[in-house]
């Protein structure tokens, strides 16, 4: 059994940055997120959910990344890299329970 972690990443909050429009993720952003989580960090399985969130009363695109993993430090490092890449003040990481693949 593995711990299920959820990383929640909101889109950039500045009005305009070199990375794109405030409050929005574009297709390139989603590609960067997927590559970072799946390829660079090497998580064998993850689910990336596109959502709409709110921060300080403003609507923004949000991504939730669900990963089953035993090593919290790998999750934390991935979340920090996402935070830095997308110029976020913070990223939420939640340990949501225990997951088991039934076969």
pLDDT of residue 62: 94
Tens digit of pLDDT for each residue in 5-62? 999 998 866 544 555 667 788 888 999 999 999 888 988 789 999 999 888 888 889 9
pTM assigned to the model: 0.86
Residue 23: per-residue pLDDT: 77
| pLDDT value for 16 | 47
The answer to whether residue 69 scores a pLDDT higher than 80 is yes
Greatest Cα pair distance, the chain, in angstroms, is 47
Which residue segment(s) compose the domain that 6 sits in?
2-99
3-state secondary structure (DSSP) of residue 60: strand
> How many domains is the chain built from?
1
| Six-digit token string for 47 | 């689910």
Please report the pLDDT score of residue 96 as a whole number. Answer: 86
Q: Which residues contact 51 (CB under 8 A, 6 or more apart)?
A: 61, 62, 63, 64
Q: What is the CATH number of the domain that holds 84?
A: 3.30.70.120
Mean pLDDT of the chain: 87
C-beta separation of 7 from 93 below 8 A = yes
Per-residue confidence (pLDDT) for residue 24, from 0 to 100: 85
Phi, psi of 74 (to 5 degrees): -65, -40
């Amino acid at each position: 059994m593995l711990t299920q972690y959820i990383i929640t990443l909101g889109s950039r909050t500045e009005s305009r940055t070199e990375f794109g429009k405030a409050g929005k993720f574009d297709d390139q952003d989603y590609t960067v997120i997927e590559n970072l989580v799946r390829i660079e960090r090497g998580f064998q399985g993850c689910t990336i959910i596109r959502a709409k969130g709110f921060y300080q009363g403003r609507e923004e695109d949000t991504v939730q990344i669900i990963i089953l993993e035993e090593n919290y430090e790998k999750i934390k490092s991935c979340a920090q890299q996402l935070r830095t890449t997308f110029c976020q003040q913070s990223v939420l990481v939640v340990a949501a329970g225990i997951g088991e693949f039934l076969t």
